[in-house]
Amino acid sequence: MHDQVLNSPSAGADPQHGAPVLTVSGVGKTYVEPVLADVSLGLHAGQVLALTGENGAGKSTLSKIIGGLVEPTAGTMTLAGRPYAPHSRTDAESHGMRMVMQELNLLPTLSVAENLFLNRLPRRALGWIDRKRLADDARHAMAQVGLDAIDPDTLVGSLGIGHQQMVEIARNLIGDCRVLILDEPTAMLTAREVDLLFEQIARLKARGVALVYISHRLEELRCIAEQAAVLRDGRLVHAGPMDALTSDQLVTLMVGREIGERIDLGERRIGEVALKVEGMTRQPVVRDVSFHVCAGEIFGVSGLIGAGRTELMRLIYGADRADTGTISIARDGGPLRPVGVQSPSDAVKNGIALITEDRKGEGLLLSRPIAANVSLGNVGAVARHGIVDTRREAALAQRQIDAMRIRTSGPAQAVSELSGGNQQKVVIGRWLARDCSLLLFDEPTRGIDVGAKFDIYGLMGALAREGRALVVVSSDLRELMLICDRIGVMSAGRMTGVFDRATWTQDALLAAAFAGYAKREAMLHEPLAPDAKAPDNTLENDGSREQ
């Protein structure tokens, strides 16, 4: 049953928070088909509303309507009791509405300081930029989100995605902020950065800022949100106090069915070695890494932020050139043979696929339809005499839509109109349409809801049963422990340990993740005393705070 204050914008004032600062009444949005219908909510100052639901449920669409990026096709809004209908993001920001979306809104060729104050650069006489004041202001803004160690003059494009996300958050906390929308803000953050973000949220609440917090990490929602609103298939199915719901109840509301905590990947036969990597090096990010993966095996790669996990995948795929190292592959039951992988095209020819962590920047053509994106790596299967047959292309895309359970109106729908999770499914579907024996998954479930995650896990199990070799990089250690046969741990560019189910524990995996940094510190400084603390690094996973 819906909570009256949240479900009805015309309801009376909350005795604790007063009248709603933002109301949403009967809001809907239709593209080819309705993606949002008759949503009504109220948000109070100093309150955090957890907005959750499966991918494609309408969370991002609702957020973009509130933030001025999308105009609704139905409904009205009020802000502080006055009609509110922003025509752009800039218009919304002028009213104190700020958004931190999954898609980063940064300019990589500008510095951190310039990105933070792009629309309000401090000026001196004759219009020159006051660089000293800009740097000082940037340091103050960066300190609030734990970026003290980064030079404000650093180019944003040289930062990792996690740090770029923190810059985006810092940018939106500058100036007057009445309502702040955070869309999956912790998907790319370490546990330490998450703690810093939560501290900032507490300060914003104390200032009377109203927050909408979108996340699939239910433990986070329970930590910071007073109210919960659940969307399913574009409709509001529940709104009420967060403490009245258990995590299991939230999941059931999101997906419309109960989901267990364990997964059965089915009977699998782990065969001979399908991939062997020896001495892979690209200084300073990857150093002398060797490991192997068998046919039918799911091999996980864990580690700290900046440990070299993504960089290792890019070297295997040929996206970056290695200094030294060899790759050997066995295909179709044959023996291991060294292969030259100097480019992604070489990797694809040798049956290697990479599902990148940056699906928007590197994995998709957002303005193009699903059919074009799926056929991108499968032109030979849809072309006749060198010309793409649109009927074949659409049929191929429809098979992947059905297999991946992609929520869409059809193969002709633009990928940009899909939710983040469904976009990720399009990327995976492209490679599944091609006969690749080795699949490299880099953060495959980042930004994907709990229901879709289990769909992906089941898909990985099916691929492994077919005899394909899978390498999975993930920031969620519990995820790797759930689905993998073995886990290799990267630390300071090296693989410091490989564990199987019989030998791994969370403590052992954490210790291996810190090992490379401790060794590097010992080489740079005097040996640590026996009771000295480990370096201040944190694993990028939900369980990393248990140290």
At 519 the pLDDT is 54
Q: Which residue range is the domain that position 479 belongs to? A: 273-351+436-525
Domain closes at, from 382, 414, 434: 434
> Looking at the domain assignment, is residue 214 inside a domain?
yes
> Looking at the domain assignment, is residue 234 inside a domain?
yes
Residues 441 and 326 in one domain: yes
Please tell me whether residue 79 adopts helix, strand or coil conformation.
strand
Residues 338 and 443 in one domain: yes
Query: In whole angstroms, what is the distance from residue 152 CA to residue 136 CA?
Result: 9
At 12 the pLDDT is 36
At 522 the pLDDT is 46
Residues 114 and 92 in one domain: no
CA angle 272, 276, 279 (to 5 degrees): 155
pLDDT digits (tens, 9 = 90+) for 164-219: 878 888 888 887 889 999 988 887 677 777 887 888 888 888 888 899 999 877 77
Residues 170 and 183 in one domain: no
Q: Is residue 26 pLDDT above 70, yes or no?
A: yes
Range from 144-158, 369-383, 384-398 that averages highest in pLDDT: 144-158
Higher pLDDT, 527 or 499: 499
Query: In whole angstroms, what is the distance from residue 96 CA to residue 176 CA?
Result: 6
Query: In whole angstroms, what is the distance from residue 318 CA to residue 324 CA?
Result: 13
Residues 413 and 461 in one domain: no
Helices 420-432 and 390-404: crossing angle in degrees, nearest 10, is 120
Residues 91 and 180 in one domain: yes
At 168 the pLDDT is 87
Q: Is residue 487 pLDDT above 70, yes or no?
A: yes
Q: What is the mean pLDDT of residues 400-404?
A: 82
Residues 248 and 180 in one domain: yes
> Looking at the domain assignment, is residue 407 inside a domain?
yes
Residues 280 and 250 in one domain: no
At 45 the pLDDT is 93
Which pLDDT band, with edges at 50, 70 and 90, does 436 fall under?
confident
> Looking at the domain assignment, is residue 546 inside a domain?
no
Domain closes at, from 202, 234, 258: 258
CATH code for the domain in which residue 478 is found: 3.40.50.300
- Flag the least confident range among 164-168, 316-320, 530-534: 530-534
Higher pLDDT, 526 or 230: 230
Query: In whole angstroms, what is the distance from residue 254 CA to residue 232 CA?
Result: 6
At 76 the pLDDT is 95
Other beta carbons within 10 Å of 103: 13
Query: In whole angstroms, what is the distance from residue 1 CA to residue 23 CA?
Result: 19
At 518 the pLDDT is 55
Query: In whole angstroms, what is the distance from residue 424 CA to residue 184 CA?
Result: 15
Q: Do the beta carbons of residue 475 and residue 490 sit within 8 Å? A: no
Tally of structural domains, the chain: 4
> Looking at the domain assignment, is residue 300 inside a domain?
yes
Residues 171 and 181 in one domain: no
- Flag the least confident range among 268-272, 403-407, 435-439: 403-407
Domain closes at, from 210, 225, 258: 258
> Looking at the domain assignment, is residue 3 inside a domain?
no
At 404 the pLDDT is 76
Q: Is residue 327 pLDDT above 70, yes or no?
A: yes
pTM of the model: 0.57
At 470 the pLDDT is 96
Q: Is residue 467 pLDDT above 80, yes or no?
A: yes
Other beta carbons within 10 Å of 109: 10
At 166 the pLDDT is 81
Query: In whole angstroms, what is the distance from residue 515 CA to residue 509 CA?
Result: 10
Which pLDDT band, with edges at 50, 70 and 90, does 126 fall under?
confident
Residues 88 and 191 in one domain: yes
- pLDDT averaged over the chain? 82
Which pLDDT band, with edges at 50, 70 and 90, does 18 fall under?
low
Q: Is residue 130 pLDDT above 60, yes or no?
A: yes
At 497 the pLDDT is 93
Residue 335: is the preceding peptide bond cis (ω within 30°)? no
Q: Is residue 131 pLDDT above 80, yes or no?
A: yes
At 11 the pLDDT is 35
- Flag the least confident range among 3-7, 133-137, 280-284, 343-347: 3-7
